[in-house]
Amino acid sequence: MSIEDKLAELGVTLPNAPAPAANYVPFVQIGDIVYISGQISNDANGLIVGKLGDTMELDAGVAAARSCAISLLAQVKAACGGDIGRLERVIKLTAFVNSTDDFTDQPKVVNGASDFLVEVLGDAGRHTRSAVSAASLPLGVAVEIEGIFQVK
């Protein structure tokens, strides 16, 4: 099953790749490796804001991380000239979770992204990762994730 078919089966349509909000590029490709800048949590209703351990529950954080993974795939698609089928595998995610000092479930939050990528890509979605706490994130978003991908 193609990546597009799997996304459709899950009811996911990749949005247009988000434009950079400052002085950086959304991705850089070196050989068959694509580095994607941090993607902040958002959905069709706008930014997903909140602080885990304070104003946001774990399930909402998981959904926020999933939204970051969808934006990452949108950026990979843009990097591949609109052909997401060129994606070979996810190499690494680095995730930042807007959370309180005593919140320790950052890995559970980031599973929202990791589980989604494995669901869409199978073994090619399995990746290394870091999941760390941040005292705050841009615009008050709940999660920001950057990624490294291999493409054809």
In this prediction, residue 50 carries a pLDDT of: 98
The answer to whether 142 and 48 are in contact (CB under 8 A) is yes
The domains of the chain are located at 3-11+24-151
pLDDT tens, position by position, 27-38? 999 999 999 999
At the top level of CATH, which class does the domain 3-11+24-151 belong to?
Answer: alpha beta
Instruction: Examine the pLDDT at 1 and tell me if it is beyond 90.
Output: no
- Helix, strand, or coil (residue 73): helix
In this prediction, residue 34 carries a pLDDT of: 98
Instruction: Examine the pLDDT at 108 and tell me if it is beyond 90.
Output: yes
Vertex 112 angle, CA 81 and 37, to 5°: 40
Instruction: Examine the pLDDT at 66 and tell me if it is beyond 90.
Output: yes
Computed over every residue of the chain, the mean pLDDT equals 97
pLDDT tens, position by position, 68-95? 999 999 999 999 999 999 999 999 999 9
Q: What pLDDT band is residue 106 in, cutting at 50, 70 and 90?
A: very high
